Structure 1
Amino acid sequence: MRIPGIAFNKPSDWSTGRAINLDISEQGITLRRELKYSASGRFSVVTAGASISAVATDHTGKLYMLDWNGAVYLLDPAYPAPELLLSASPGQPMSPSLLLGTTGRWAILPLEPTETMISVYAAVNGQCLWQASPAIVAGEKIETLAAEHDANGLHILQRKQTLSILEESETEQIQQAVWSYELHSYDWNGRLLRSRSLPEQLADDRENIAHSVHNHDRWKIALHGDHFYIAAPHSSTIWSWSETGELSGFSLPGCRLEGNLIEGPDGVLYAGVYDLRNDSESAAYLIAIRSYGEWERVPGYTGRVDELLRSGEQLLVYDTSAAAMTVFRRNRMIRSPLETDSLPRGHLLLPSADSGAEDNMWHNLRIDAEVPPETRLIVHYYAADHTQIQWRNRVYTLDEWLHAPQIGDRQRLHYIHEHWQSLPLNPLNALFPEARGRYLWIALELSGSWTQAPIVRELELFYPRSSLLHYLPELYQEQGEQSFLGRFLALFGHFFRELHQQIDEMPYRLDPKLNEGEFLRWLAGWVGIAADESWDDALLRRYLQMMPRLYRMRGTREAMVLTMELMTGKRPYVLEHFQYKHLLYDPEWSEALKPLYNDMPYSFLVIIPPDTVHSERQKEMLQRMLHEEKPVMTEAELIVLEPRMRLGGHTYLEINSVLSRPSRMSIDEQSVVSYDTVLTDGGDTAAMTFPFRLDEAIKLEH
């Protein structure tokens, strides 16, 4: 007896559930793939002088490098030696500075509070194009915190310290330092375009500021469209500040931002982080922040992110301690989860399967899936006679809870892992140990590597529980179906039921209308059809459906006509020897007919209209089919007509040639008369320079 089942095997079935980081297609469900950055190369960054203090890029792959002596170099990774652009300044070593670069120019911005001069240089000769310095009044101190640039110019984040009188007496004056934060925008010609004060909420992070100017301790700023991303030193919070003054922020718990922020060409924000929960060497890495609070680790790199640069479609990460630059390029990879310490994962939360009976005992689950090495498939399940769930003082139906927009996917998955049961790893065919209830919910968890992922094509649920235990003596049934013997025999019972199901479905499996692809070609082999890639599924189905009729008339003229009509879509013409043999006795006709039709009494021609054969391979296939269908002891020749009149060839009026009103004619490199099937007699419409008249230029004979 066949156990009832519920199947999920089409995109419309999978789409009823909630897919998290999955792609759904006709082939099944698998982890989502997308263009993602991964480490693809590494090269050294060294100069002939002092060590490097700052690095920038010109967006073409070349690097500007500033050393601690104040010299600036241009490095092309394709060549080992850097080019000196600006010689070192004699005297004191270079103070810590920011370096910004673009094609044709670079800018140096000192980080020391005592030096606030902005200097922009030309790359072609190292000439200073312009300098700017904010006006400082007595008692003020200005410090550059961070800088960013785009096509419009430079954007510089600075803080200003002013002294205000907190308390004053005749003998003493107590002053308090007040910090204000401002963002100044300059164009590339040095004109100040705009100055804006940072919101108080963002500026309140000043308590976290360390006065060290090391790269790890500086402010971060990145430009994205009409708003800025800003982060304070030692902070895990990234603020988004728009042109309209709107401020929002999100945190990266357990992490500390390092290096700087940058927006990639894919619109994703990238940053270096240090995992405070990890004391190993792998605690520092690069992350991609896809949305507020949701981020993932960039694969292929572990290490410091002292400088993060963008060069066209590439990302560059500079490690000061190793004096090396790592190159990241985008490749189509499996999308990772929105976490930092896991390989790619995806989930499909399916809606309830209804057995229609209270206290139903679900039997087993069968999955048609491909699970490559280093990947896995996990099945979580929950069964109950009711559909309600209480979540944070509100009652949902479980199907509604799976799709509720106010509930985060992480919360949903955490609840499922805590409260649902799980089958053994990779359960392609498994019994439910205990799944009792009218309704059953299934959550599929797919875990892959960066290059491989499981693919699930079909899922079937069977109910109610049935076992071969009922066919044994009562002594063996005392412990029930949940005993070891009951569960052991249930496996064999399921195998038998699957076998019976396959036998029941055999008529459908052999129906050409319900099959496709390789299985359809395998069915065609049963009737002797050698179908290659030139046969499409529609043609194979038509041929298989016609085979019983063709077999009954095989070896006849009608069978050949039907076969050719089926293969080409047009009915062919069959010309047999008896139809023209009386003309062979006429000497004038015999000379013209023998090359075209031959004089063999046991041969015939199958003539196919023009535009029915589109390749030489198709013509060979038709000739082979004709050879298989022709009567025994005969010879058949396939003739594919040309779509034009050709003297000395097969030309048939109203088939591949027509006579119509006169038209212009021309002489080409292949024929005296063009491929047009109309003859003219000259006059105004003639294209030839000499009169062209029938019976003079060309003689037509019967």
Structure 2
Amino acid sequence: MGDGQTFFSLNKPMDWEQGYDANIHMDEHGFSIAQTEKYSIHRIVRTDELEGIPPIQDMTVGPGRKLILLDESANVWVYDDESRHRELLFRRGHELFSPGAQLASMGDLLIIADASEGIERRLALYSISNGQTMWATQEWEGLSLYPLSVNAKLKTVNTLYITVPLDITVGMNGSPEVPKDGRIGIIQWNSAGEVTRVFEHEALRMTEATPISKLQGRYYTAAADGTLALLDTQLRTVSVFHEDGREPLHFPLEQEGRFAGISIDTNHNLYIGDSGYAQQEGVTERFILKYRGNGESLDKVTGFRGRTDKLVQDGRNRLYVFDRMSGQISLLDLRSRTMLLEDTQLPEAVYFSSELDTTETETVWHKIRLEADIPEETQIRFSYFASDESEGEIDGHYLNYSSYFTDPSITAREKLRATRDLWSEPILNPKDALLMNAQGRYLWFKIELVGSEQTSPFIRKLRVYYPRTSLISYLPPMYQQDEEHSPFLERFLAMFSTFFDDMEDKIDRISAHFDPDAVSGTYLEWLGGWLAITEHEAWGERKLRELIKRAPELYKLRGTREGLIRMLQIYTGSEPFVLEYFQFKMMQETSELRKLFAQLYGDNPYTFCVLLKPESVRTDAQRLIIEHIIEDQKPAYTEGKLIVLQPWMYADMHTYLGINTYLSEPTLLTLDQRSSMPYNTVLIDVDRDKRMDIHTRLGLDSEIE
């Protein structure tokens, strides 16, 4: 960095928050264009191409993202679209339900609701694994059930919902119908087949007597945690119920379209499909509409354009769109998308700075250094202007520049229009750029981010340097006074100035590389190499960092008992037991114990033993590292012997009370009324094996007898 030069640095959220931003997402690491999650097609399943399966009439999603398909012959298929494996859930000709039945899933249970005449099981639950009937019913409290729609949700208690007429009479032709002012309601059931609640709304009453057969396909139900929605395609309305007892919400659909299918995501947003025909007059494109739970229209799911007969949402917010005419099932996944700037409807963002004040007039600003990631198809545009005055004319008014730029009530479009003559020519994708013709006490800048559909530039840090310095000042006067060529030469030399600045920055920060708390990875291993530590992976970063920090005191103790104990404690995490010859020398004078102590600890007076608990030495690699530490830290002319204790008592072996052996009052363990474990039974399971489904290895820790 040049003599007497300084800079403004913006690298924290509080630095950037002094300005004004539009469509920007900011965190502690920097900022980018705001992102959102939008649906886009992940996979398309074409059921009409599945050999041996008649046209599909309905579908739902079962466990493991398997598709449950109902064909026009009333066969139910379980289909895995990844492996393309399919199998029948019921035998052909089962006569349990008709092709007009409706499907929903609840965990590993399949719900089938059928309002067709002649069907006994109007509502039934089956196991998806084997087709076993869990329960079935055709009425509730004397009311014949005619399911018009069905859905389910997973919670602590599984719950299913069916939309049915609550008032039924017999029409003139002898067929059941809903009378005028008859109620349509949603019955809530638990997985045991018990009704737990009934949802009703005055808007769901019939305006005229209607045969039940004409109500088929009119209603669609969606359920999420705490929210239930009912779509009436004929009246083009949605009724939203809340399980917490709030007043139901009822709102009309203002958009054009033939609506069909409704679903709710985990954020309680509503999705409604369009079942219009492409050849229908006026129908060009069909979208899935998105609403908030309060009925506010959000936008369209532009990632899908097609016909919808049913929408299914799974627990991971994946959206399945079923088109009965084409037999096509589209799987939509949420993917990150760049948000559009409200003023331009383009994937852009803009930032206006507050003033940068040098407190000195006629300051010549030098350059900027920008740390940013700029993916392909994206762009950063940096513009600036400088002045000795903090106020000036903007759009015919004399205003304070900073107050105008940071005013949140003025849109980004208006600011860009009113200040277009103030700014310099934009610098495209700057990393290191000179500020030309920037002179004044104050400097303001504007950053425009241009993204693609999925990616955005990301700015981490900005530095603005002043006053102007240049390596041209070190050249003879003839190079400095050439008005025609000096500007080019100055820009050319600025590249080398950047190299020198980077070098000086590294020198200024070199001390940080010697701080074990501030470095990691390669630099930490490099510091460990100064201590002759080569097995970096065996130590791990945490232990290696502690070893480096304690190196001065450890080297003072090297070759001593205390130094060895501390070194092993850092590596193993527990304090070792060190036994030296003088500690048991007196006991060896007794002839009866001499052989035992020689067996346990040896009879060499220059040999010492290091005793460690078994959990401290779990692998051969750890044993080798510990042996290396003992060899490296032991006093000269001595020999260190590693002994790994075992967690049991054995006569004449390494048995130490309170370390690997415990005495307690014997207690008889009773397993049940007929079995018990005697006093002399010892259970040992240090490595947590001999357990079914955890560590069971035949021939290693398990045997079959």
TM more than 0.5: yes
The letter for the 1-side match of 2:509 is E
Counterpart in the other structure of 2:271: 270
SS in 1 for 2:358: coil
Counterpart in the other structure of 2:184: 185
Q: How has the CA–CA distance of structure 1 residues 575 and 516 changed in structure 2, closer, same or farther, with 3 Å as cutoff? A: same
Question: Structure 1 residue aligned with 2:666, among 664, 667, 670?
Answer: 664
Matches within 5 A, 1:489-508: 489-508=493-512
Query: 2 CA distance for matches of 1:318 and 1:197?
Result: 26
Query: 1 CA distance for matches of 2:22 and 2:539?
Result: 37
The alpha-carbon deviation at position 503 of structure 1 amounts to 0.8
The alpha-carbon deviation at position 499 of structure 1 amounts to 0.5
What runs of 5+ residues in structure 1 fail to find an aligned partner?
Answer: 90-97, 109-116, 134-145, 157-181, 199-217, 677-702
Counterpart in the other structure of 2:627: 623
Query: 1 CA distance for matches of 2:349 and 2:623?
Result: 51
Query: 1 CA distance for matches of 2:414 and 2:120?
Result: 50
Counterpart in the other structure of 2:490: 486
For the 8 Å contact 1:148–1:223, the answer to whether it is kept is no
Q: How has the CA–CA distance of structure 1 residues 192 and 654 changed in structure 2, closer, same or farther, with 3 Å as cutoff? A: closer
Counterpart in the other structure of 1:473: 476
Matches within 5 A, 1:159-558: 185-187=184-186, 194-196=201-203, 260=260, 262-266=262-266, 267-271=268-272, 292=296, 294-295=298-299, 297=301, 299=303, 301=304, 303-310=305-312, 312-313=314-315, 314-319=318-323, 322-329=326-333, 333-338=335-340, 349=351, 352=354, 354-357=356-359, 360-370=363-373, 374=376, 376=378, 378-383=380-385, 386=390, 404=408, 426-432=429-435, 438-441=442-445, 443=447, 445=449, 447=451, 450=454, 458-478=461-481, 479=483, 483-530=487-534, 532-533=536-537, 535=539, 537-551=541-555, 554-558=558-562
SS in 2 for 1:664: coil
Measured on the aligned residues, the alpha-carbon RMSD in Å equals 6.3
For the 8 Å contact 1:285–1:304, the answer to whether it is kept is yes
SS in 2 for 1:465: coil
SS in 1 for 2:548: helix
Matches within 5 A, 1:547-586: 547-551=551-555, 554-568=558-572, 572-577=576-581, 580-581=584-585, 583-584=587-588, 586=590
SS in 2 for 1:490: helix
The letter for the 1-side match of 2:68 is K
Structure of greater Rg: 1
Q: How has the CA–CA distance of structure 1 residues 411 and 575 changed in structure 2, closer, same or farther, with 3 Å as cutoff? A: farther
The letter for the 1-side match of 2:113 is R
The answer as to 2:107 corresponding to 1:105 is no
For the 8 Å contact 1:20–1:347, the answer to whether it is kept is yes
Query: 1 CA distance for matches of 2:448 and 2:616?
Result: 50
Q: How has the CA–CA distance of structure 1 residues 58 and 537 changed in structure 2, closer, same or farther, with 3 Å as cutoff? A: closer
The letter for the 1-side match of 2:594 is S
Query: 1 CA distance for matches of 2:310 and 2:668?
Result: 69
For the 8 Å contact 1:221–1:260, the answer to whether it is kept is no
Q: How has the CA–CA distance of structure 1 residues 511 and 86 changed in structure 2, closer, same or farther, with 3 Å as cutoff? A: same
Question: Structure 1 residue aligned with 2:47, among 44, 49, 70?
Answer: 44
Q: Deviations over 1:364-399 (max 9, x none)?
A: 444445556x46452545455649998999989858
Query: 2 CA distance for matches of 1:282 and 1:522?
Result: 65
The alpha-carbon deviation at position 591 of structure 1 amounts to 0.6
The alpha-carbon deviation at position 269 of structure 1 amounts to 3.2
For the 8 Å contact 1:10–1:28, the answer to whether it is kept is no
Query: 2 CA distance for matches of 1:100 and 1:388?
Result: 69
The alpha-carbon deviation at position 592 of structure 1 amounts to 0.8
Q: Deviations over 1:516-558 (max 9, x none)?
A: 3443233222322235456454533332133244445544445
Question: Which deviates more from structure 2 when the two are superposed, residues 483-492 or residues 453-462?
Answer: 453-462
The alpha-carbon deviation at position 469 of structure 1 amounts to 2.0
Question: Which deviates more from structure 2 when the two are superposed, residues 427-436 or residues 622-631?
Answer: 427-436
SS in 2 for 1:513: coil
Identical aligned residues as a percent = 23
Query: 2 CA distance for matches of 1:265 and 1:500?
Result: 54
The alpha-carbon deviation at position 337 of structure 1 amounts to 1.9
The letter for the 2-side match of 1:105 is A
The letter for the 1-side match of 2:631 is H
Question: Which deviates more from structure 2 when the two are superposed, residues 620-629 or residues 473-482?
Answer: 473-482
The alpha-carbon deviation at position 105 of structure 1 amounts to 1.8
Q: How has the CA–CA distance of structure 1 residues 326 and 581 changed in structure 2, closer, same or farther, with 3 Å as cutoff? A: same
The answer as to 2:71 corresponding to 1:62 is no
Query: 1 CA distance for matches of 2:533 and 2:636?
Result: 19
SS in 2 for 1:589: helix
The letter for the 2-side match of 1:62 is I
Q: How has the CA–CA distance of structure 1 residues 526 and 409 changed in structure 2, closer, same or farther, with 3 Å as cutoff? A: farther
For the 8 Å contact 2:395–2:419, the answer to whether it is kept is no
Counterpart in the other structure of 2:214: none
For the 8 Å contact 1:271–1:288, the answer to whether it is kept is yes
SS in 1 for 2:329: strand
Query: 1 CA distance for matches of 2:327 and 2:436?
Result: 58
For the 8 Å contact 2:382–2:427, the answer to whether it is kept is no
For the 8 Å contact 1:651–1:657, the answer to whether it is kept is yes
Q: How has the CA–CA distance of structure 1 residues 564 and 316 changed in structure 2, closer, same or farther, with 3 Å as cutoff? A: closer
Count of aligned pairs: 579
The alpha-carbon deviation at position 595 of structure 1 amounts to 1.9
Counterpart in the other structure of 2:693: none
